[in-house]
Structure 1
Amino acid sequence: MMFKKLALASTVLGTLLLAGCASVPMESAQESARLKAFPAPEGNMAGLYVYRDSYMGKAQKKDVYVDSECLGESANQTFFYKQVAGGKTHELSTESEFSDNKISVFTEPGKNYFFRQIIKMGVFVGGAKLEPVSDTEGKRVISKGNVQLAKSGVCSN
């Protein structure tokens, strides 16, 4: 009987965590629109777009880092943009349930790269991971009217 009550309470809590919507500080609509035009990075730089559009985990905010520096705190229907040095390998990471999930990407100067942050079920809270996506897919999702530019440099940790 106690196990059934604990299981029910856990299910209800999990549903509440996954059902709501989180909000984070946002950039201006003008800056969001400018970056949705996908300008070429300046000089010897490369551009990194990181977006989140998953249905799961809407109530959660997750920090995203580039080379161990805070890119920002994501929420559903948000994206970030950052220029980084081209011709180098960069590490992108996102906080997850027990430790950060990390991926590396070698960037070519003048090119934009797209990454999707995915929220997944966890033991206590949802976990997160980043996955590279094609230019076509990244541009398609970010171009939607409901995906907006979140403020960079604001992380919870």
Structure 2
Amino acid sequence: MKKFMSIIGLILLFSGCATTKQYVQQPDSNKDGVNYTNDSLAQIYVLRPSSFGSAVTYKIYQGEKFIGELGPKSYLVWQVDPAEGPIEIISKMENYAILTVTPEAGKTYYIKQKVKMGWVMARTGLEWLTEKEALEILKKLKAPEIQYLKP
């Protein structure tokens, strides 16, 4: 009976639905992947096309700046100033993954959030996507819920 209850618990854990919340301003370009708002800024997308581990959200940071919580089948998008120089995009869960971006004005960068099995909870990974791959994936994803952190 214990084994049965454990299996039911795991099914419920992985069948829940975590929502995506973005805590920084989202550019107007949104879902089509084109940077319409400001040619002097770079744009970054972090996409999570997988529904695996759907009860889990991944915390996404730009350096120490909290960008948002990434749920299944969704994305985060924000703009950065190239004058900041190289920046780190960080995904945190049981472990953490880091990609370094040297933003260029007017350019868009696409990153895929990978979901992996961990010992206690899900693990994270990040990998680059081509624009073509990202735009195909974006068509199937839902936009984030925008929330602003209180100062």
Of all paired residues, the percent bearing the same amino acid is 24
Shift of 1:18: 2.1
TM-score normalised by the chain length of structure 2:
0.79
Q: Does 1:39 align with 2:34?
A: yes
CA–CA distance in 1 between the matches of 2:61 and 2:120? Answer: 22
CA–CA distance in 2 between the matches of 1:32 and 1:143? Answer: 17
Decide whether aligned partners of structure 1 residues 10 and 105 sit closer, same or farther in structure 2, where only a CA change above 3 A counts.
farther
| Structure 1 unaligned blocks of 5 or more | none
Q: Count matched residues.
A: 145
Q: Does 1:150 align with 2:147?
A: no
Residues 87 and 100 of structure 2 are in contact (CA less than 8 Å); yes or no, is this contact kept in structure 1? yes
1:12-91 to structure 2, matched below 5 A, reads 12-25=8-21, 34-40=29-35, 42-86=38-82, 88-91=85-88
TM-score normalised by the chain length of structure 1:
0.77
Match of 1:124 in 2: 120
CA–CA distance in 2 between the matches of 1:129 and 1:153? Answer: 25
Secondary structure of the structure 2 residue equivalent to 1:39: coil
Q: Does 1:106 align with 2:91?
A: no
Secondary structure of the structure 2 residue equivalent to 1:36: helix
Runs of 4+ aligned structure 1 residues displaced above 3 Å come to 8-16, 24-27, 31-34, 151-155
| Structure 2 unaligned blocks of 5 or more | none
CA–CA distance in 2 between the matches of 1:13 and 1:113? Answer: 38
Residue identity opposite 1:102 in structure 2: I
Residue identity opposite 1:36 in structure 2: K
State the superposition RMSD in angstroms: 2.9
